[in-house]
Structure 1
């Protein structure tokens, strides 16, 4: 299996189909011949297809990829630093299966766009990507970021963007990740530590990434839980109270140059809900849209505009009476300056002035119900 890492053979080996080989041999025997090869190790196309025969096993299995049975996905693979290669895999399973573990990870060159063709119909698919090459060159990709599982229709023309800034802790709007909830007098406050602008999400904690995570829960100003060693249910009291969830992440390596440290604090009110069903909690979210390229960079010689959206997790009414402040730093968070913010409701824009290096962001938002979020992302994206 070809790898961009390690030693290379001085003479590459090439296998061709039998019929083509016979023509090449005949040409060589006929006299002087020249063989010109044009190869690529990062094809601009990829096919993930299922051959499905409903209710029967055909005598001859033949699958023809057509526009009537295939969706087209434009996959944009962002670069987070280090080597220009990463691992990805699209898992597929039939409706009667509970999970998929077959097949191997695949290599993709970061900073590129690839057209991917995926079988439509009732099969389920879930795409995953790791920002670097996985330690083993074989086996399933079991960490990194993931998209929510989905099915495709034949006329789907989807666009996926991986590792687009701003990567930060969040509850993804697209689903596929736990939503913080309260059941009776128990809080479940799981939040994905790494979520990109497209809602692709991943968790911290693998030794290979050397992540540092601190998570603390407070009620009315008093700490009631430390979840830094892992997510566990948090028991609480039935009466109304004001809660605060503090989540800090740190990841730094040659393969991870953006979102090197994040600090997020959510504040919200909660009391024992009626009934036994889990009730989603109002952790106010900030989504970011940065006009960055696939290297995570924006032109720094002029001002640029950020898009910001305020929302609540699925199951919580949309925020009203919102306010938003944004600050930026060009020196890794040592000094900050406020930037102009325009908008209302759930949609805002902020203007970042010209600069150089990296842009760190600090946002403070609140709504009429008193829910707040303070979020700092150091080295959120770069300037070129």
Structure 2
């Protein structure tokens, strides 16, 4: 490839220029010496004229693909210089890669099905989405590639996603134009087998693919509603280049509803003209509707579209299962309310079109948004139900679970390949199991997510699962019986306290479990103050202090929150020998504090106020006093933290108008210079700190027992001062430590 470099002489005498060339790549490194060549080492430019010199870009020179720059320096006899820049891009011949995606229904994949093409040698990444024909084309150079796809299949109505399939070839050579067909019908359903019957609310599906040079792509996708509960993978051969890890996860709960025709009542339909006797009915709960808890046997009655005129004067609806036909002119809430007004015990809305049917009631998140339990049913099964009702008495067995007593957190990964039989067996032997309680006021909701991480991930998107406060359940962690060991997955749970704003959440420390681990966990319990060791640290390295003390915590070790929403305030100050040396809304590890080498007395204060997280710990003031001098290495600072065990119930309350005993411990970081405790003083208040009275303290082997007299109702606040023989001290005022009932 040849281009001309031009030089113009505006003087009235010819000028001879000596020419040199320097070439670099896009990273600034020198290009191969023969990549650019000049047609001459000098040029004479006539007076008032232009002269050109050919510059050749030698495309055959062995060099990486990319942009290259040549700078030609022209020097006149008097030392004057001028530079001309020439650029070129080295590319490789490309081939047409056609990827044809077929859905599980045999039709072209749904629009926006995704295709990843990844060069296993260079780490170059190409991405495409299908439009309407399931086909995408890309131009790629020769090489070794991973070609993977996420194939979406729409339901019969062409509106909702019915299932998703991941598959392709994680390792293939491309040396010319080629068509790759990825057929979702070859996929195998990923099945999670659990000790108790369970169902997912969505899933995560994806993979990590690493090239031979260490570069990698990670594509993990999530779906988060109850109608997306089928996921498939297409088996592959083991890879020989780089690293490949397909990964699927689900959070599985007790089924919200199970329904079936009552076989003993089917004497009039033994030939199955209107559905097999005892057959199941695939109901889906209406989102935000009241949930049935327990067993009911109800006679089904059809009430048309559920308009007021459809039920007027009818006496056959009370105590029955009202079956409603969907009407686009009516709101689901109104149809359900009409059935409830007629005395129905529950309602089912039958779809008026093919495909899945997800009904969501507007408004805030709720588990009691209707007067009666309500469900949806697809058109085909709905017709069967309506035909049976028309033929005679139809009895339906319902079994509902309002709050799941368990959650299975299951991750399935098979490094190297996608296996032909993707079955995950979750058992007690291959699981960690924790008995977990969520405190809070009765009638309120709390939520949680359970993000998991692998060595190659550092972010995780999750859907919050909401359930009633005061729930107690078993939480399982498992990677099943094949593939990745449980110890190779890291977990970090979050608990949410305000259903209208997910900013209000507590985050757990990162945790690793092993099969057979057992334990208990409490979330949102009374005792909220600054985070303590296990989630916080305070260190000195040389003449630098580092404070990582999160604003807020609950009674569970490792649980922390960050104030900053409406009505919250945080103030942190650091003093050395009584002089302030730092302040801010919060001082964390990304804001180290410079200090002086000599030993000094330090005081760190952290004051917080909040009004929306909890009715407890509305104002907390903590001050740590300790001595410190220059260190040769990173060392823990000698801070004391109070840790309380108030002995509350799940509503964070204790009985009023009586003597109450609670536990107190003083904890510190490992390696801190803590001496024997010399004193502890505690005062209590029944009026949010307006007046105080002393409490009785008794030392025991592992801490202290505090004796107080609770008021009849309201809240109890605490003020504590504790110090040791080395001069370390903590002062804390905790307004509304716990509630009294």
Q: TM-score range by the shorter chain?
A: 0.7 to 0.9
In structure 1, what is the Cα distance between the partners aligned to 2:505 and 2:471? 18
Q: Figure out how many residues of one structure are paired with residues of the other and give that number.
A: 369
Residue in structure 2 matched with residue 118 of structure 1 by the alignment: 477
Corresponding residue number in structure 2 for 1:138: none
In structure 2, the CA distance between the partners of 1:9 and 1:343, relative to structure 1 (3 Å rule), is closer
Distance 1:149 1:39, change over 3 A: same
Q: What corresponds to 2:445 in structure 1?
A: 85
Aligned to 1:198: 556
Shift of 1:129: 0.6
The answer on 1:285 being equivalent to 2:641 is yes
Indicate the residue corresponding to 2:376 in structure 1.
14
Query: Deviation per CA, 1:116-155, whole angstroms, max 9, x where unpaired?
Result: 22116221111111212153xxxxx676212221122222
Give 3-state SS (helix, strand or coil) of 1:264's partner. strand
Rounded Cα–Cα distance in structure 1 between residues aligned with 2:629 and 2:700 = 29
Distance 1:340 1:381, change over 3 A: same
Residue 243 (1) aligns with residue 599 (2): no
Higher relative contact order (CA 8 A, sep 6+): 1
1:13 & 1:50 partners in 2: Cα distance?
Answer: 30
**Could you say which residue in structure 2 is the equivalent of 1:102?**
461
3-state SS of 2:598 partner: coil
Q: Find the aligned partners of 1:181 and 1:98 in 2 and give their Cα distance.
A: 28
What is the CA–CA distance in structure 1 between the aligned matches of 2:689 and 2:650, rounded to whole Å?
24
> 1:87-236 counterparts in 2 under 5 A?
87-94=447-454, 96-119=455-478, 121-122=486-487, 123-135=489-501, 144-172=505-533, 175=534, 177-207=535-565, 209-228=566-585, 231=588, 232-236=591-595
Q: d(CA) in 2 for partners of 1:77 and 1:31?
A: 47
**1:250 offset after TM fit, Å?**
0.2
| Aligned residues of 1:215 and 1:248 also touching (Cα < 8 A) | yes
Residue among 705, 709, 712 paired with 1:353: 709
1:263 corresponds in structure 2 to 621
Work out which of the residue numbers 662, 666, 671 in structure 2 matches 1:310: 666
Which structure has more strand as a fraction of its residues? 2
Given the superposition, is the C-alpha separation of residues 67 and 201 from structure 1 closer, same or farther in structure 2, using an over 3 Å criterion?
Answer: closer
The CA distance in 1 between the partners of 2:471 and 2:601, in whole Å, is: 46
Question: How far did residue 291 of structure 1 move?
Answer: 0.8
| SS in structure 2 of the partner of residue 158 of structure 1 | strand
- Name the CA distance, whole Å, in 1 between partners of 2:513 and 2:556: 18
Alpha-carbon separation, structure 1, partners of 2:530 and 2:439: 18
The normalised TM-score by structure 1 is 0.87
1:27: Cα distance to partner? 5.3
Q: Which has the larger radius of gyration?
A: 2
Note if contact 2:678-2:725 (Cα within 8 Å) is conserved in structure 1.
yes
Cα distance in 1 between the residues matched to 2:620 and 2:693: 18
Q: Deviations over 1:148-188 (max 9, x none)?
A: 2112222222211012121111323xx2x341111211111
Q: Is the 8 A contact 1:321 1:345 kept in 2?
A: no
Work out whether 1:376 is the aligned partner of 2:733.
yes
Q: For the Cα contact (< 8 Å) 1:162–1:200, is it kept in 2?
A: no
Once the 2 structures are TM-superposed, how far is the Cα of residue 109 of structure 1 from its aligned partner?
1.3
Q: In the superposition, relative to structure 1, how do residues 21 and 152 fare at CA in structure 2: closer, same or farther (>3 Å)?
A: farther
Q: Is the 8 A contact 2:507 2:561 kept in 1?
A: no
Between 1:346-355 and 1:198-207, the stretch displaced more is 198-207
Question: What is the deviation of 1:201?
Answer: 2.9
* Mapped contact 1:285–1:313 kept (Cα < 8 A): no
- Against the structure 1 CA distance between its residues 82 and 300, is the aligned structure 2 distance closer, same or farther, given a 3 Å change threshold? closer
Tell me the TM-score normalised to structure 2 length: 0.47
Three-state SS of the structure 2 residue aligned to 1:6 is coil
Question: Tell me, which stretches of 5 or more residues in structure 2 are unaligned?
Answer: 1-224, 226-286, 290-361, 480-485
Q: Deviations over 1:55-102 (max 9, x none)?
A: 4421121112111222222110011x59611221111123x2242413
Distance 1:58 1:184 in 2: 53
Query: Cα distance, 1:31 vs. partner?
Result: 3.0
- 669, 687, 699: which is aligned to 1:343? 699
Alignment RMSD? 2.7
Q: How far apart are 1:314 and its partner, in Å?
A: 2.8
Worse-superposed segment, 159-168 or 141-150: 141-150
Q: Hey, what's the Cα distance between the residues in 2 that align with 1:117 and 1:201?
A: 19
SS at match of 1:189: strand
Q: Provide the rounded CA distance (Å) in 1 between the counterparts of 2:673 and 2:596.
A: 24
Deviations 1:183-216 (A, max 9, x none): 2111112211112222243243433x43111111
